[in-house]
Amino acid sequence: MFILDRIRQGPREDPALSSFNPREREILKHIAEGLTNRQIGTRVHLSEKTVKNYVSSILEKLGMASRTQAAVYSLKKASEA
């Protein structure tokens, strides 16, 4: 029964991602695209400093040290979906 329940429920969301708000998810997507903080800010209408703060929060929640790690993580999760 457990296997059937898992199939019905679909893939489980990563616990780290479940703590993200919609803006953090959006910014993580842009990080994975390889955009700079300034480019992200322009796209989402935020200052570069605000984006920097979001990036710091994202890295902390993921337990990662670099945006490159976060980009790889994001791309891997997207390919699993």
Q: What is the pLDDT of residues 33-43, one digit of tens each?
A: 999 999 999 99
Q: Which pTM value belongs to this model?
A: 0.80
Encoding tokens for residue 37? 């903080």
Give the rounded distance of the alpha carbon of 54 from its chain centre: 10
Element (H, E) at 28: helix 22-32
Average pLDDT, rounded, for the chain:
88
Query: For residue 37, how many other CB atoms are within 10 A of its CB?
Result: 21
Is 57:18 a contact under the CB 8 Å cutoff? Answer: no
Encoding tokens for residue 25? 């998810």
